[in-house]
Amino acid sequence: MEMETAEVSGEKKKKKGIVVLLIGPPGSGKSTFCDSVMKSPQRPWSRICQDIINKGKAGNKAQCLKMAIESLKEGKSVFIDRCNLDRDQRSDFINLLGGGPHVDQVHAVVLEIPAQVCISRSVKRTGHEGNLQGGRAAAVVNKMLQSKELPTLNEGFSRIMFCYSDADVDNAVKTYTMLGPMDTLPSGSFGLKHSDTKSQQPGIMKFFKKVSALPASSSSSNEKAATTPEANEKIEDVRVSPAKLGSVVPTLAFPSISTADFQFDLDKASDIIVETAEEFLPKLGSARLALVDLSHGSKILSLVNAKASRKNIDLERFFTFVGDITKLHSQGGLHCNVIANAANWRLKPGGGGVNAAIFKAGGPDLEAGTRARANTLVPGKAVVVPLPSTCPLRNAEGITHVIHVLGPNMNPNRPNCLNKDYTKGCKILREAYTSLFGGFLSTVEDQSKLPKRNNQATMSDSGAEDSERNKKYKGTQDKASTNNMESGDIGKKMSKGWRSWALALHVIAMHPERHENIVLESSDHIVVINDQYPKARKHVLVLARQEGVDGLEDVRREHIQLLEEMHNVGMKWIKRFQEEDASLIFRLGYHSVPSMRQLHLHVISQDFESDHLKNKKHWNSFTTSFFRDSVDVLEEVKSQGKANVESEDVLKGELRCNRCRSVHPNIPKLKSHIRTCPSQFPDHLLQSNRLLVRPETSN
C-alpha cells in the first residue's frame, strides 16, 4: 500500500494543468468567479487578468500568454480572465496553450448573464481594476455584446460550460472548486439552451439586443427583474443532442461498490474496477463510465486514476468525478443517463450513503419500479430499473435508469460477512461490476445503433434474424414479462442485461407445458424445440431446464450430468434424422456466447441449406472455433471445471468453406461452392466424434 501511495503521489506531480477561458462581457462576473474558485485549496490556480497584468495596469494578450505559460510550468491551472468574446480573441490561447506540454485540457466557462444585469453591475461598481464603471460602462458593454460569438467545441475546447443565471454560475463555481489535483472533468458542451444552438454552428454569430444605460437609482430593481423567468426566454435547459454536437453520449455514473459500509479492501477493489471497465469499454461503443465519490480526498478515486493511467485507458470514456451522484447534472455539469446504486439485499430505502440518497431522490417511482423487477438481490448481481417520466430523478437530472447492484461484505456488523475471504470476495465483486456494466450495456443498446448484445458480448447465435425472432417469440416474451414470472425472476434476468426477446428460450425451458405447439420433447432436465430460424436442413435446440445456467460461461463441474443428458438427447435426435435421410451429417455444439438466455445445445446438419443463413456471422458462428463441440465441452468441464469459450472476434473472419477451407467473397457464392465441394471435412472434425455420420455412410 505504501508503494501504491507513492505511485499515486508521483502521478499527482506529473499531472498537467487545465486552462479555463472565462467568456463574458464586463459585469458578467468573471473576476468574481475566479476569486470564488481560488479560495479553495483543492487545486492551485493562477488568474490571468489583462486589466492588471502590466504591474497593476492594463496590458496586452502577449503578456497574458506569457504569464499563463509560466504558471502552467509551475504546476498551476489557469483562468484567462478576459472577455474572450469572439473566436479570434480565443484562438491564440487555445492554439498556443492547448498544445503545450503542461496543459491537460482547455475549457470555456460562458457567462451568458442577461445584458441588463451586466450593464447594471458595470454602471454601479466603483474602484474597478480596469476602470470600467459609471456612465460610460453601458456604451462599452453594448458595443462588446454586438459582436459576441458563442464558443464551439471545434475551436479546440475539450469542455464548454454555459451559465445563464446566478444559480448556474454557483454550480460552475462548485464544479471547479471541488476539482482536486488528480481530478479531470468530462469533455463536451454542457448547459446550452435550445435557443442558442444555432449560434453554436460554425460561422453563425449571435448578436445581443442593444440596451440603454440604466439610471443608477433603478439598477437594483431592474437587475432583479432581469433574472426572473419573465425577463428571460423560458426554454428548458438541456444538453445539445449528439446529432448536433456529438458531445453527449450515454454515461453510467457509479459509486465504488462495497468499499464504504462493506469495508472491502480499496487496493483490491480498484484493481477490479479498472480491469472490468477495461473489459467493457470496447463493447460500449462511445458510451462512458464515471466512478463517482463525494470527497476530493477519496482514496479509491486516486487509486483508480493511477491504475487506469498506467493501463493507458481512454480517460475520456472512463474517468472519476467528485460530486453528489443524485445531482451530477444540476450541480456538476456532468450528464449521466444511468446511475448505479450500491444497494442492500432487500432493495429497500434506508441506511445511509448512496442507497438512501438515490431512493430519496428517486421517490415512490423508483421504489415501485424496483419492486416490479425484484424483491431481493444476491451479492454479485444487479437489476436495471427504468424510470418513468414522472420520477424526480428523470425530470431534474435526466436519469433514465437506476441499476441496483450488491457487492460482497467484509463488515462483520453487516449481513453475509465473508470474514476476510478475499478469494471469494474478489470473485463476487468482479461479478457485481460485470453485472452492473452489462446492465448499462443493455440500456445503451436500447438507445443507440450499436449491435445488439447479450450481457457481455455481441449476439452471434442468431445474428440478423434476431428482429425476426423477436416477432416470432412475441407471445412468449409478453407472457414472460407479465404473469408467467415472479418479480424476482424478472430481476435476475434484467440483472444480466438480457433484452426482453432474448428471454424466450428461458421461458420455454421453465414452462414447456405452456408451449406444447413448439416443444418436440421435454423431461425434468431438458426441452427440445426446432430452431425457429434454422441454418440447415435439420436444426434443433436442446434447452437446459436448470435455472441460472444462461450460457457456456456458467457451466461448471456440477453441471456435468446435465451436459451429458443434453448430449445424449442430441445424439438420439441425430439418429432419428439419419434414419430418415442417411446422407445427413451432424455436429453437436454450443456457441461460445449465445444471443438468447438459457444454455442450449445446437444439433445441426452440415449441409447449411437454409434461407435463414444470410451473413458472415451466421456462417462463422457454426463453422469456426466459436462453435464448441459438445464432446470437447464435456471433456473440458470434467478436467478443468469449466469450458473454454472463444472470442467473438472470430466471427469477423473470412468466409471459408467448412470442408476445404477455401475463401469466398459472399454467402451466395459460398453456398454455391459447398453444394459441390468434393473435399473431406478437416481432420480435427473427423476425430473424437465431433462429426456424426451414419456408420455405413462415407464422408
Instruction: Spell out the residues 6+ positions from residue 679 whose beta carbon is closer than 8 angstroms to its own.
Output: 657, 659, 660
Please report, in angstroms and rounded to a whole number, the separation of the first and last CA atoms in the chain. 63
Residue recorded with cell 447479450: 454
Q: Where are the alpha helices (DSSP H) in 148-292?
A: 166-177, 219-226, 242-245, 266-280
Contact of 252 with 290, CB cutoff 8 Å? yes
115-124 and 219-226 helices cross at what angle (nearest 10)? 150
Contact of 125 with 32, CB cutoff 8 Å? no
Q: Which of 407, 430, 276, 278 is nearest to 340 (CA)?
A: 407
Q: Residue 75 and residue 66: Cα distance in Å, rounded?
A: 15
Residue recorded with cell 436442446: 542
Q: Which of 335, 600, 602, 618 is catalytic?
A: 600
How big is the CA angle at 52 (ends 49 and 57), to the nearest 5 degrees?
155
**600 tagged catalytic:** yes
* Sequence letter at residue 113: I
Q: Residue 350 and residue 404: Cα distance in Å, rounded?
A: 14
Q: Residue 359 and residue 420: Cα distance in Å, rounded?
A: 29
601 phi/psi in degrees, rounded to 5 = -100, 130
358 phi/psi in degrees, rounded to 5 = -70, -40
587 phi/psi in degrees, rounded to 5 = -130, 150
Provide the 8-state DSSP code for 161: E
Q: Residue 230 and residue 2: Cα distance in Å, rounded?
A: 58
Residues recognised as catalytic: 600
